[in-house]
Amino acid sequence: MKHLLTLEQLSPTEINEIITLASEYKKELKKGIPHKKNLNGKTLGMIFEKSSSRTRVSFEVGMYQLGGYALFLSSRDTQLGRGESIKDSARVFGRYLDGIMIRTFKQSDVEDLAKYSGISIINGLTDYCHPCQVLADLMTIREHKGSFDGLKVCYIGDGNNMANSIIVGALKTGMRVSVATPKGYEPHKHIIEFANSFDGMFELTHDTVSAAKNADVIFTDVWSSMGMEDEAELRKKAFKSFCVNKELLDVANPECMVQHCLPAHKGEEITEEVFEKHAGEIFDEAENRLHAQKAVLYLTMKD
């Protein structure tokens, strides 16, 4: 692995390798065993055109625990914020840093960083996909369920970057996937084409009950992601019946997990009751961002 740009680029073996290494890091930390300083002397630049709590903290702490250094770069603090091209910035950063994690809007910006920088690039989030989050999600599923074999994953809500990456990650690890969105809010066309190539493993519907039936894991996300604030009221009307609630859990398997990438808008995409009942799983998911991030950092930036 030189880069992590999308989950599509990874093989099932590579995904499982990341999860296994992440689990080993987590066990070490729980036992108080320091990690080997495999990234000693390495520097990660972190470009944030979209703000975040979990992404920033997990990458900074992860680099520290592996012996490296993380440098926070907001768009306001760099020439990117004044119009310098990604191509030119990439060629500069590539001479200073060993890797870049970027959280931004356009997937093409991540691709251009990888093309021109000459160093490892990690996609911390784009409008197209969220691979780091879903690696942590997959880690959490395997942690709670023991394996991916025979599981059905359900996603309820906006066909956004989270939906795109959940579809790819779940299918690549052998799980069946059912997605329910309002009409007009389906996942990316390319992702649907990819998913339909897994014969009989993918369902796209506008019926939440049908999607959740016999699910082993239910995912959801906020109705309005960052950059969609102007659409918030329109989206509330479109998504009003796309809430993960007790009635939806009643049609899922009895031991069904609930996952949410956070922050949650309780009372919108998920009820307070369901969130609190499954809070242990949801905050395991949040914690696992740290360990999955460390695995990605090591596998992309090691010598």
137 is catalytic: no
> Which is catalytic among the residues 154, 243, 256, 261?
261
> Which is catalytic among the residues 3, 98, 127, 130?
130
Distances (CA, A) of 285 to 224, 257, 290: 21, 11, 10
H/E element, 112:
helix 107-117
Q: Where are the beta strands (DSSP E) in 158-287?
A: 176-180, 202-205, 217-220, 257-260
Q: Say if residues 137 and 261 touch (Cβ distance below 8 Å).
A: yes
Residue 124: how many other CB atoms lie within 10 Å: 28
Residue 195: how many other CB atoms lie within 10 Å: 20
261 is catalytic: yes
289 is catalytic: yes
Continuous H helices in 146-199: 161-172, 189-196
> Which is catalytic among the residues 103, 142, 188, 291?
103
Q: Say if residues 162 and 135 touch (Cβ distance below 8 Å).
A: no
> Which is catalytic among the residues 137, 216, 221, 284?
221
> Which is catalytic among the residues 142, 188, 278, 289?
289
Q: Which two tokens stand for residue 172?
A: 């690549």
133 is catalytic: yes
- For the CA atoms of 26, 27, 30, 33, the dihedral, rounded to the nearest 10 degrees, stands at -100
130 is catalytic: yes
65 is catalytic: no
> Which is catalytic among the residues 109, 129, 133, 137?
133
Residue 30: how many other CB atoms lie within 10 Å: 8
Residue numbers annotated as active site: 103, 130, 133, 221, 261, 289
